[in-house]
Amino acid sequence: MAEKNLEEKEIAVKNNFIHQQIQNDLLEGKNGKRVHTRFPPEPNGYLHIGHAKSICLNFGIAEKFGGKCNLRFDDTNPSKEETEYVDSIMEDVRWLGFDWDERLYYASDYFEQLYEFAVKLIKTGKAYIDDQDSETISAQKGTPTRPGTESPFRNRSEEENLDLFERMKAGEFDEGSRVLRAKIDMASPNMHMRDPNIYRIMKTPHHRTGDKWLIYPMYDFAHGQSDFWEGITHSICTLEFEVHRPLYDWFVDQLLENEYRPRQIEFARLNLTYTVMSKRKLLKLVRDNHVNGWDDPRMPTITGLRRRGYTPESIRNFADRIGVTKVDGMIDVSLLEYSVREHLNKVAQRVMGVLNPLKVVITNYPEGLEEEMDAINNPEDESMGKRKVSFSKVLYIERDDFMEDPPRKFFRLAPGREVRLRYAYFITCNAVIKNDIGEITELRCTYDPASKGGNSPDGRKVKGTLHWVSVKHAVKSEVRLYDRLFNNEDPLAKEEVDFKEFMNKDSLKILPECYVEPFVKGAAPLTHFQFERLGYFNVDLDSSDSKPVFNRTVPLRDTWAKFKNK
Ligand code: ATP
Ligand code: MG
């Protein structure tokens, strides 16, 4: 046991280079040996599984190193942000099992401080107002190999800059007519250091500050400063911000008063096969009704995965498993499915449900008799105990479990063949009833009363064990089967093709008439079940007593078995 723990620990450090770096910072005694991270979503959409990786990383670091993690909304762009998103983000972080306690912040909390900081930069000759439009400014930026050109407004006097900035704030100028820029280095090999914009005019009301502000700080200007003011020690972000790091450090240098200093560390974002992850693209799917909202169970959003039946544990295990690296890559979605299967296997109540019903009449079973069969609730967890399942003369089995003329390797029910009904009896098929157009409508079978419980009375063997429900007792339910939202591993790979072209038209299949054993009656939304032999299902949010609805979370088939012993 001790050995196993050691091994697990090694894996945990090995596949997470950020843990190693933090460990080193602690050994060096940096920042008074404090560890403080933050998760900084922009409230412009619902969170997706990629954000879950970042949440697990940031809050996980706080847990691992006895530190803290803040939740901070990066709400510097009022045109795209809404309180609906703020609320959903808080719900999702909590659902994943993390808590920011009283440390809930908004970049907008710092608007006043940021404004003052900008004024300070102007006064120290490190910022200026540029009257040029954005096209001109970007044309002057140069290229990575050719230095930029200085703006004709770069050397304005401090008084003029202060006056213009004040008037920008007062709303005297039109949007886009002026910006405040940091005065750094137009010849820097890093384009982000070529006098980046730090304030822009935007006359859009903000979800928190209303119409108080008519100028807003740029993300780069707000982010590091927010980190600084919150005492963040490790500011973890995705790789595309690596080139912003010198700018992050430059701003921190202007703020520095003591030894404390936040440090930006970048890691590779999560990409998953068969889906897209940018909020902008997900918003498009929602707006254009390609899916039924942000919480459509086919969406890679946390709210979608929750509705689909994923558990917080399975998502956290997935995040641990994939680790944290500096190398961009694509993770196979079946690894995520493996993680959910692994967890649900341990916790899900087993029941029997028939998705595609075929009626079976047991001709020698007494009319009107009902028996209660003992069934195991979860073979992985004895403490979950047993339940009774009602058996009677007329049953449903899965249509796929019968073949009139079976090939050699088909071991389920066929004319003249005997199989076991799980927990019940051995039955033999004697007759196949068809309708006018030759479709099978019913099977006539006999049972062996001596095989009660599904046990062989005399050592004779049957090859197949089928699930079933009693027609009289079963709960008629709707079942929704989900498949991948896209039929291409990387829907964004071909720039010239719109990613929506790759949408899988069969990603949702609704089965209106399924039958499930009565145990599921009254189960609350999001309750997990394993339908034996079929997969994991959960009660949908739309489900009601009069119309139960189940989502298939994931089928039983396990394509990632090789991970099991890792
Ligand atoms: P998107 O591109 O999906 O809109 P974003 O990076 O703009 O995402 P933010 O709200 O700014 O979204 O992100 C909040 C945090 O989550 C950031 O620290 C960001 O780096 C991280 N994050 C976003 N997407 C991923 C991802 N796919 N994998 C890991 N972390 C991510
Ligand atoms: Mg963003």
pLDDT in tens, 516-542: 999 999 999 999 999 999 999 999 999
Q: Which residues line ligand 1 (CB under 6 A)?
A: 40-42, 50-51, 53-54, 237-238, 269-270, 277-279
Given a cut of 70, is residue 493 above it in pLDDT? yes
Residues designated catalytic: 42, 269, 279
The helix or strand, by DSSP H or E, that contains position 318, with its residue range, turns out to be helix 312-322
- Under CATH, what is the fold of the domain 353-466? Ribosomal Protein L25; Chain P (2.40.240)
The Cα–Cα gap between 92 and 173 comes to: 40
Q: Say yes or no to pLDDT of 331 above 80.
A: yes
Q: What pLDDT band is residue 509 in, cutting at 50, 70 and 90?
A: very high
Q: How many CB atoms lie within 10 A of CB 333?
A: 16
What's the confidence (pLDDT) of residue 255? 86
Query: Once rounded to an integer, what is the mean pLDDT over residues 252-267?
Result: 90
Give me the pLDDT at residue 559, please.
53
Read off the pLDDT of residues 94-139 as tens digits, 9 standing for 90 and up.
999 999 999 999 999 999 999 999 999 999 999 999 999 999 999 9
Tens digits of per-residue pLDDT, 269-313?
999 999 999 999 999 999 999 999 999 999 999 999 999 999 999
Asked whether the predicted pLDDT for residue 561 surpasses 50, the reply is: no
Which of 47, 51, 492, when mutated, tests ligand 1's pocket best, judged by the most ligand atoms within 8 Å of its CB? 51
What does the pLDDT read at residue 9? 47
Of 47, 53, 54, the residue with max ligand 1 atoms within 8 A of its CB, to mutate for a pocket test, comes to 54
Cβ contacts of 382 within 8 Å, gap of 6 or more: none
pLDDT of residue 80: 84
Contacts of 255 by beta carbon, 8 Å cutoff, 6+ apart: 117, 225, 228
Q: Cα-flanking dihedrals φ and ψ of residue 376, to 5°?
A: -85, 130
The Cα–Cα gap between 136 and 117 comes to 26
Is domain 279-349+477-564 classified as CATH 2.30.40.10? no
**Does 279-349+477-564 match 353-466 in CATH topology?**
yes
Of 257 and 118, the structure prediction assigns the larger pLDDT to 118
Q: Which ligand is the nearest neighbour of the Cα of 237? A: 1
Q: 354 C-alpha to center of ligand 2: Å?
A: 44
Residue with tokens 């008084």: 159
**Closest ligand, as measured to the CA of 54:** 1
Structure tokens at 508: 């949702």
The pLDDT tens digits of the residues spanning 202-216 come to 999 999 999 999 999
C-alpha of residue 39 to centroid of ligand 1, in Å: 10
Tell me, what's the pLDDT at 13?
56
* Helix, strand or coil, per DSSP, at residue 187: coil
- Give the model confidence (pLDDT) of 447-488 as tens digits: 999 999 999 999 999 999 999 999 999 999 999 999 999 999
Q: Find the mean pLDDT for residues 229-250.
A: 97
> Can you give the pLDDT at residue 103?
98
Query: Which among 189, 115, 88, 176 has a CA at the least distance from the CA of 148?
Result: 189
Structure confidence by residue, pLDDT tens digits, 177-227: 999 999 999 999 999 999 999 999 999 999 999 999 999 999 999 999 999
pLDDT per position as a tens digit, 45-75: 999 999 999 999 999 999 999 999 999 999 9
Cα 227 to ligand 1 centre (Å): 17
Q: Coil, strand, or helix at residue 346? A: helix
| Lowest-pLDDT choice from 45-49, 129-133, 412-416, 499-503 | 499-503
Q: What is the pLDDT of residue 558?
A: 65
Residue-wise pLDDT for 355-385, tens only, equals: 999 999 999 999 999 999 999 999 999 999 9
Residues 463, 409 contacting (CB under 8 angstroms)? no
Provide the residue ranges of all domains of the chain, joining segments of one domain with +.
34-267, 279-349+477-564, 353-466
CATH architecture of the domain with residue range 34-267? 3-Layer(aba) Sandwich (3.40)
Closest by CA to 391, choosing from 419, 371, 367, 368, is 371
Alpha-carbon distance of 125 to 310, in angstroms, equals: 54
Atom of ligand 1 nearest to the CA of 238: 20
pTM above 0.75, yes or no: yes
Q: What is the mean pLDDT of the chain?
A: 94
- CA of 152 from ligand 1 middle (Å) equals 37
For residue 486, give the DSSP letter: B
Give yes or no for a contact between 429 and 444, defined as CB atoms under 8 angstroms apart: yes
324 DSSP assignment: B
Bridge partners of residue 440, in order along the sequence: 434
Element (H, E) at 396: strand 394-398
CA count, 13 A, side-chain hemisphere, 508: 14
